[in-house]
Chains A and B, each alone.
Chain A
């Protein structure tokens, strides 16, 4: 079976420092990530949590962290599983994905005077039903991040919206 890998490139007119801060500073993540705060001390092995208020939506551990260049962390997407349940996806879905850790990575490279931000999300369970869900979500949040850095405001996801079809 082929391993599923989600890759999405975004080109952003900003500096490495601002882009890095936007990804790692919870005060900034909440501006582009539907109000969610990404919390970690970013030491290798430390926990990473995506918080909506007090609720942990997703969590994992820091695997790699080179400031202004790249980072990766393991990722148990609790929220996506709840989302699938809300959408009426069968219970078998939650069972097959429960406890399975995927991996999320961000890498920054230069592209002329802009930056290329490459998101890679992989290590999915075989026959993962999570994959199409994250393929919907990431392009929206990467677009929102780009808008925040270039025009000062993130995008807003309307309540109940089903977004996207992803990239590959």
Chain B
């Protein structure tokens, strides 16, 4: 028996292409992703890793990649044994144009019944995706997001 998937939809006043480029960029991601850089060549089967200050916090494999449309990767949190022992969950992003905007839907699924990761990512994703939206619309991410996140369980910001 698995816990339910976490789903979050955000609407961003930009194109799916720009949303895609920012979300998958190792240089841009730390700006909105609590200091985490996401790195991959985004080919199916390739490694995906999330690092903060050079330390790999999470990693997985690209499951599906259609630029500006759909991205899916497996996700294992590496930095605490209790997280790592949960094994892999799956992160999927879907990008759809809606008028002049992008509808970005995140689905994070595959959590075991006693998952310690699900509550953390459920807290983190709205912060990360709110900051991504702010960055794309204003040129600046939400500020101090990592220190702010430290007030919550969500220190890792889903990374």
Contacts and interface: CB of A to CB of B under 8 A. Distances in A.
A164 B143 CA distance: 27
Contacts of B12: 143
A164 B13 contact: no
Contacts of A8: 8, 126
Nearest to A168: B7
A44 interface: no
Interface in B1-40: 4, 6-13
Interface string B56-72: 00000000000000000
Interface residues of B, number: 30
A155 interface: yes
Contact of A10 (B6, B99, B130): B130
B126 A9 contact: yes
B11 A144 contact: yes
Given A113-B143, A168-B6, A168-B7, A146 B99 contact: no
A9 B6 CA distance: 13
Contacts of B131: 11
B74 interface: no
Given A158-B98, A163-B103, A112 B8 contact: no
Contacts of A82: none
Q: Quick one: which of A140, A155, A158, A167 has the most chain B CB within 10 A?
A: A167
A114 interface: yes
B142 A155 contact: no
Nearest to A12: B130
B51 interface: no
Contacts of A147: 13, 133, 137
A150 B139 CA distance: 11
A146 B143 contact: no
Q: Quick one: which of B11, B147, B148 has the most chain A CB within 10 A?
A: B11
B145 A167 contact: no
B142 A163 contact: no
A112 B103 contact: no
B138 interface: yes
Chain A to chain B: the 8 pairs with minimum beta-carbon distance, closest first: A112-B148, A11-B130, A143-B11, A158-B99, A9-B126, A112-B144, A139-B9, A167-B8
